[in-house]
Amino acid sequence: MTIIELRRTKGMAQEMLALESGVDRGYMGGLERGRHLPTLDTIYRLLPVFPISFTQFAERFESNLRKAQREMKRNDNG
């Protein structure tokens, strides 16, 4: 979720982000859909495209992960 949020905030198409970061477009789609988790190499390729540090990215990623886990727990209990 973090990558798609950053991309949309910047107003970029997925294809443009893939091109600017040197990440395969198909893999980028998988990242945004949650089918893949980004490797450190991928994160470091993406960060120069956004005005965000690795620490800020990691904090956002962790926050989004916690939200998703809480939501999954609620759905399992509901």
24-64 confidence digits (pLDDT tens): 999 999 998 889 988 999 999 999 999 899 999 999 889 98
Nearest-5° Cα angle at 24, 59 to 65:
25
This prediction has a pTM of 0.76
Name the one residue in this structure whose structure tokens are 């809480």. 70
Report whether pLDDT(7) > 90: yes
Give the model's pLDDT for residue 26.
Answer: 94
The answer to whether 52 and 45 are in contact (CB under 8 A) is no
Give the model's pLDDT for residue 78.
Answer: 63
16: helix, strand or coil: helix
- Specify the CATH class of 2-77 in words: mainly alpha
